[in-house]
Structure 1
Amino acid sequence: MDFIGAYSPGNLGYLFAGLLNTLIMAVIAIIFSFIIGSLLGILRYAKIPVLSQLTAVWVEIIRNLPLLLIIFFTYFALPEIGIKLDVITAAITALIVFESAMISEIVRSGLNSIEKGQIEAARSSGLTWMQTMWHIILPQALRRMVPPIVSQFISLLKDTSLAVVIAMPELMHNAQIINGKNVNYVIPIFLLTALLYFAVNFTLSLVARRLESRERKSRKSTGKNAAVQRETGGAAL
């Protein structure tokens, strides 16, 4: 093992350049997969004839395919029908397609967790379905969805390493290039690579735990307030 040679300024710079590409790819995929996944989840929740069923079929197909297959398809198969994507675009597209399907289920579950009585009360007060969704359902559901969505984003960040199969210059790819220079670099470089992945993902996991803790406290507080109101109303009667 050659730690000194492995951690030379040139190697470290190349490795951190791969980390930067990984983070950029993950951020872009997170933004678009959240937007698309939210739309898909709302479409399934809305139960629009035909459209909701087609959305459900699409989501179930993507969720049951390996991400590696989707990456291969976007990079190698799409050019056969005239759609040629560069390595970075193909990797990001595959991540967006796969992760949006996962997030759509989180969104749908979050929306379903809101009591139906709130929807009925909002509609009876004169609000349209869109107004009810935007002002009543989504704000509550979003708070409940944040922890699992952050956890899914952690998985997305780890999944970026699969882009190494199409030579995407991300962290794992650059680590392998450095290891190819000298077999004595393998353990030091992979240790540092693992540490970098751990640092980023552990930070995100702490955020997820904190948000989940806040959500639990919020639910307990809401439950206590509701109980106090019931007791007060009962005493007044």
Structure 2
Amino acid sequence: MDFIGAYSANNLFYLLKGFLVTIEVSAYSIILAFIIGTLMGIIRFARVPLLSQVVALYVGLIRNIPLLLVFFFIFFALPEVGLKTSVFTASVAGLTLYASAMLCEVVRSGLNSIPKGQIEAARASGLSYVSTVRYIVLPQALKRMIPPIMSECTSILKGSSLAIVITLPEMMRSAQIIYNYNVKFVIPIILMVAILYFIVNFTLSFFARKLEKRLTIS
């Protein structure tokens, strides 16, 4: 092991460049997956004719295939039919497609956890179905959805490392390039990668707990 050599300024700078790519890809994917997953979850909860069945089919398909296969399909298969994308776009698309299916089920389960009596009471008081979901069901369900949503966010962050298979210059690929140069750097570099992942995931969990407490109090 060579901690001093592994943690040289050049190596740390190169690793941090990959770390920033990891954060950027994860951030885009989290935002897009949350929007798409929420919409799909509401569609499934409301049992919108036809759309609900299409979403259920999509969710069932994505949840039963590995994320690696999604990356391969987007980056290697789609160009065969004329849909070529950059590595960055393919990575964001793959993570978004995969995570949105998971978040769809989180949202649907959260909405279904609200007693039906509240929905019936709101409807009886004259609220439309959309207003009932927006003002009565969704705010309550959100409090229950925060832990699994944040868990999925950390999964997206960790899942971004799998984009190494399509040569995304994220943190794990940067780490691989560094320790391939010198085998003595393997343990120090992997340790640094683990620390960086831990810091981000711990920070996400910390703010999730704060947000959950604030929503519970309010």
Query: TM-score, with normalisation over the residues of structure 1?
Result: 0.88
Percentage identity across paired residues of the two chains: 58
1:22 aligns to what?
22
> Shift in Å at residue 210 of structure 1?
4.2
Q: Distance in 2 between matches of 1:26 and 1:132?
A: 32
1:85 aligns to what?
85
1:137 aligns to what?
137
1:186 aligns to what?
186
Which aligned pairs between 1:49-64 and structure 2 lie closer than 5 A?
49-64=49-64
Q: Does 1:165 align with 2:174?
A: no
> Shift in Å at residue 204 of structure 1?
1.8
1:45 aligns to what?
45
Q: Distance in 2 between matches of 1:30 and 1:60?
A: 20
> Shift in Å at residue 28 of structure 1?
0.4
Structure number with greater Rg is 1
1:156 aligns to what?
156
- Give the number of equivalent residue pairs: 218
Q: Distance in 2 between matches of 1:138 and 1:213?
A: 17
> Shift in Å at residue 193 of structure 1?
0.9
Q: Distance in 2 between matches of 1:6 and 1:132?
A: 57
> Shift in Å at residue 194 of structure 1?
1.0
1:3 aligns to what?
3
Q: Distance in 1 between matches of 2:87 and 2:55?
A: 28
> Shift in Å at residue 53 of structure 1?
1.2
Q: Distance in 2 between matches of 1:198 and 1:114?
A: 34
Unaligned runs of 5+ in 2: none
Which aligned pairs between 1:78-117 and structure 2 lie closer than 5 A?
78-117=78-117
Q: Distance in 1 between matches of 2:147 and 2:213?
A: 9
Deviations 1:141-172 (A, max 9, x none): 11211111011101111111000111100000
Let me know the Cα RMSD of the aligned residues.
1.5
2:120 aligns to what?
120
Unaligned runs of 5+ in 1: 222-237
1:196 aligns to what?
196
Q: Distance in 1 between matches of 2:74 and 2:182?
A: 33
> Shift in Å at residue 71 of structure 1?
0.6
Contact 1:148–1:208 (Cα < 8 Å) also in 2: no
Query: TM-score, with normalisation over the residues of structure 2?
Result: 0.95
Q: Does 1:174 align with 2:174?
A: yes
> Shift in Å at residue 186 of structure 1?
1.1
Deviations 1:168-201 (A, max 9, x none): 0000000001112111111111111111111111
Task: Tell me: higher relative CO, structure 1 or 2? Use CA pairs within 8 A at least 6 residues apart.
Answer: 2
